[in-house]
Structure 1
Amino acid sequence: MLRLLAFVLASAALLFAPAALTPARADAKGPPRAFFGVMVNGPLDADTVDLDARAADMTAAGVGSWRVEMAWDAIEPAPGQFAWGATDRKVLTAARHGIDVLGLALRAPAWANGGSPDPFVPPRRPAAFAGYLRALIGRYGPRGSLWAEHPEVPRRAVRAWEIWNEPNLVDYFRTQPFQKPYAALLRAAYPAVKAADPGATVLMASMANFSWRDLARLLSVGGPRLRFDAAGAHPFSGRPSNALKIVRLNREALDRRGYRRVPLWLTELTWSSAKGKKQPLTQNWETTEAGQAQRLREMYGLLLRNRTRLRLARVFWYTWATVDAGSQNSFDYSGLTQALPDGTFRAKPALGAFRAVARAAATR
């Protein structure tokens, strides 16, 4: 709820911002297939779900990349003891369907964060997090052990790594202000990833709410210049026009601090279709299923028209599937599909909108 309240405040603050970018015509060349991504979590985490069937639905809709959470506390609950099964399932499924994976490395086990049961307490030693990243690449990278164990699956290594999620919010990074401890984490992560896979992309964590302000603060932190290959943002807002302004403000924050060539990845973009399904509602955030589809169409149109000047590389919708019932969390109504109690999935109007946008972009 704190995050939702901040969305509303951010939307209100942006109402009087300068006009959004609207060039005369769209970029002449369409985006690569991987531009259209989705988060793969929630109902899809269940072992009972036929993930290959869902992946086939995604590729038919134009999805080219997945954002997959790789939680350190779940994968390495004790030093050197790894539980790869749940993550293996997603990476192998993506590979079978020719889908790229963005690995989201976040959370910390108690043995690494000073004994706290709260996984959002960051590790005491950034070097330990760097070691976890090396283990991930050792499993899923170009020479990863997963591919040796599964020669029947086309090798499609994970080549992009996001370093934590929304560290500017205390909900996801308990140490605040976040700038210095997160900078230490990123400074340890970057060389570790590059040493293990020189061709990998290191994505600085996406931030939400007043993301551009926190990005500017992070980039101005003292010490050695921060290194990363891409920057992320979560442009949550009630209106697509204001969401685009958030993207522009993040772009400007990067440009002004010498990161003009660094691309932007929107690793979470969404609107909730909770209107009529839950109470209370959050102004300008929750809408109907038809409203969700309309906002998706409008937002992707804006992003595609401004893709080149914003140096926008990928956009991930949050999320593919949600239960759409029985929750007060707006994100539990944000899926392109609804996971039904009988194990089937219902396509929401937003899925049709996503498919149409992706197909139109592919024909350019």
Structure 2
Amino acid sequence: MPILVAMRGGIVLVLVGLALAAGLCAPAGAATGDYLGVSVGTLFDAERDFVPGGASQLDSLGRTGIPVARVDATWHSVEPYGPYPGFARNWVAADRIAGALALRRIRWFPILGYATPWSTSAAGTDKAGPANHAYFASYAAGVAQRFGPGGTFWQAHPELPYLPVTAMELWNEPNLRAYWRPEPDGATYASLYLATRSAVHEVMPDVKVITGGLSPYAQPEAFLRTMFAARPDLAGNLDGVGIHPYAAGPAQVMDVIVSIRETLRSLGAGGVPIAATELGWPRPNQSPNAAFAIPDATRAGDIGLISDALPVSDCNVDRLLMFTWTTPEANPVEQEDWFGLVHPDGAPTAAAGALAAASLRELPAGAPLAVCGGAPATAAPLALDMKVTRARGDQGRTCARAVVTYRGLPVNRIPVEYVQGANRAAIAGDDDGHTERCFSRPGRIRIQAKAGRWAASTPTTVRSLRKPTPKKPKKRPARRG
């Protein structure tokens, strides 16, 4: 339905402008506190100077009201030569990040890592566990002391809006070989986490240390079990578990969250918060891995739905950071180039407007949504909208078609149940939120979009069309003579 998508996209771009304008006078985190955020790593170079256009991109983020930005506080930039006598820590690059964000009233959510040339367990790469955990923990404590509550950076810069670091992420996707070589090692990572958390809490008890966001494609549940098996003292000493719940659509994102929550309960850590520190969908591209690329209007709908659902679910998810503010859009076969919420020239997408709007909404009060099966959750599910049409299919069958939206935007992969008597089928919507089911029998057809108990539409009932009555052939008059 390209015309429908184009119309929605046009409406969304208008809404984007309104959301951005609203952000001009909205204090960061006006509605959702520090729950929502976005990655901004592509706005800075290796020295943490702005890339061309980076400053204006960060200006536009600051105007939206989105309160948090995720970007690295690299160990190598802080301690390029090691913690040796005579070598002071170098805060120039980290200060640039903290200052640039604070100036725009955005709180920094730093990623701690990676290894340095002088302390790596695998020569030739920084994507390996540190050779010395105590050195790494000391660097992390230094980041907390400088940028946490009352930190030395804020003392030195009273002219800046005071937005201290309150949480840090230890590494990125440590369960993937790409980020932990030669192979992911849950036991070693658990020891690094405990050493780092202890060092940070000793100097800044109020700064949380969250595990590196785990990839959903490399058995994050098994990685967590390995961590706890190696270090049972993680129980009671874990500030939060990071997860990157990439999935086809919002319902599948929730499935990832539910699985992590169930795993934590089985490990005796059911009360530990979950942090979704990276999530997003690329726009259509030519990558061979573009299976979950979706139209921008659908990205916007998915972001709106998951942003509303996660903070009020019973899963105890305390933050959601989208990936990412902007990407180059240069290589059609490189999927990473198409995740951006804002185009390289600064033009916003529908997805950017949806995130900005979500950051300005007040979170609903009351009982949590029933998602993870925790305490009794009696809140009504989030309201999905569903438009149903019917048409005649082949052989006289009635075909019912449903389009599922949230806040006026399409959402994908939401199951839609079609019921006629004993005939029942649940069909996941396509990338534009469409499903279709055909019936050969007469009777009522009940249709409802439903994602577990946390999001549902009002059921709709339609009657099947009558089968066409075959036309009788006209009698030809008898020929005379």
Which bin holds the TM-score, normalised by the shorter protein? 0.7 to 0.9
Cα contact 2:287–2:334 (8 A) shared by 1: no
Pairing 1:116-127 to 2, within 5 Å after superposition = 116-127=123-134
Report which of the two has the higher share of strand: 2
Aligned to 2:340: 335
What TM-score results when the alignment is normalised by the length of structure 2? 0.63
Give structure 1 regions of 4+ aligned residues with deviation exceeding 4 angstroms: 48-53
Summarize the Cα distance change of 1:184–1:147 in structure 2 as closer, same or farther, 3 Å threshold.
Answer: same
1:259 has 2:266 as partner: no
User: CA–CA distance in 1 between the matches of 2:82 and 2:122?
Assistant: 13
Summarize the Cα distance change of 1:143–1:346 in structure 2 as closer, same or farther, 3 Å threshold.
Answer: same
Q: Which amino acid in 2 is paired with 1:311?
A: N
Q: Which amino acid in 2 is paired with 1:219?
A: F
**Match for 1:278 among 276, 282, 286?**
286
Aligned to 2:445: none
**Match for 2:305 among 298, 306, 315?**
298
User: CA–CA distance in 1 between the matches of 2:356 and 2:32?
Assistant: 15
The Cα shift of 1:172 comes to 0.4
The Cα shift of 1:79 comes to 1.2
Cα contact 1:130–1:189 (8 A) shared by 2: yes
Cα contact 1:141–1:197 (8 A) shared by 2: yes
Summarize the Cα distance change of 1:295–1:39 in structure 2 as closer, same or farther, 3 Å threshold.
Answer: same
Q: Which amino acid in 1 is paired with 2:118?
A: W
Instruction: Summarize deviations over 1:204-223 as a string: whole Å, max 9, x none.
Output: 22101232332233233345
Aligned to 1:180: 187
Secondary structure of 2:209's aligned partner: strand
Cα contact 1:297–1:354 (8 A) shared by 2: yes
Q: Which amino acid in 1 is paired with 2:360?
A: R
Aligned to 1:311: 316
Q: Which amino acid in 1 is paired with 2:354?
A: A
Aligned to 2:246: 236
Instruction: Summarize deviations over 1:127-182 as a string: whole Å, max 9, x none.
Output: 11111112212322234332233232233221212111111111001143411110
Q: Which amino acid in 2 is paired with 1:346?
A: A
User: CA–CA distance in 1 between the matches of 2:333 and 2:134?
Assistant: 38
RMSD, matched Cα = 2.4
Q: Which amino acid in 2 is paired with 1:240?
A: P
Q: Which amino acid in 2 is paired with 1:317?
A: M
Cα contact 1:122–1:175 (8 A) shared by 2: no
Summarize the Cα distance change of 1:93–1:362 in structure 2 as closer, same or farther, 3 Å threshold.
Answer: farther
Pairing 1:30-179 to 2, within 5 Å after superposition = 32-45=32-45, 47-49=50-52, 53-80=56-83, 81=87, 82-114=89-121, 116-179=123-186
The Cα shift of 1:187 comes to 1.6
Structure 2: 5+ residue stretches without partners: 1-29, 366-481
Larger-Rg structure: 2
Secondary structure of 1:70's aligned partner: strand
Q: Which amino acid in 2 is paired with 1:349?
A: A
User: CA–CA distance in 1 between the matches of 2:261 and 2:314?
Assistant: 9
User: CA–CA distance in 2 between the matches of 1:221 and 1:352?
Assistant: 44
User: CA–CA distance in 2 between the matches of 1:302 and 1:138?
Assistant: 34
Cα contact 1:44–1:321 (8 A) shared by 2: no
User: CA–CA distance in 2 between the matches of 1:189 and 1:57?
Assistant: 34
Aligned to 1:360: 361
The Cα shift of 1:198 comes to 1.2
Instruction: Summarize deviations over 1:85-138 as a string: whole Å, max 9, x none.
Output: 332122112223332222210111111115723001111121111111122123
The Cα shift of 1:40 comes to 1.4
**What percentage of residue pairs aligned between the two structures are identical?**
26
Q: Which amino acid in 2 is paired with 1:169?
A: L
RCO greater where, 1 or 2, for CA within 8 Å and sep 6 or more?
Answer: 1
User: CA–CA distance in 1 between the matches of 2:272 and 2:325?
Assistant: 27
User: CA–CA distance in 2 between the matches of 1:175 and 1:126?
Assistant: 17
Summarize the Cα distance change of 1:159–1:280 in structure 2 as closer, same or farther, 3 Å threshold.
Answer: same
What TM-score results when the alignment is normalised by the length of structure 1? 0.81
Aligned to 1:268: 278
In the alignment of these two chains, the number of paired residues is 326
Summarize the Cα distance change of 1:59–1:120 in structure 2 as closer, same or farther, 3 Å threshold.
Answer: same
Structure 1: 5+ residue stretches without partners: 1-29
Summarize the Cα distance change of 1:98–1:43 in structure 2 as closer, same or farther, 3 Å threshold.
Answer: closer
Secondary structure of 1:170's aligned partner: coil
Report which of the two has the higher share of helix: 1
Cα contact 1:268–1:315 (8 A) shared by 2: yes
Cα contact 1:36–1:62 (8 A) shared by 2: no
Instruction: Summarize deviations over 1:278-330 as a string: whole Å, max 9, x none.
Output: 343432x22232332233233324424xx340111110001111112226432
Aligned to 2:22: none
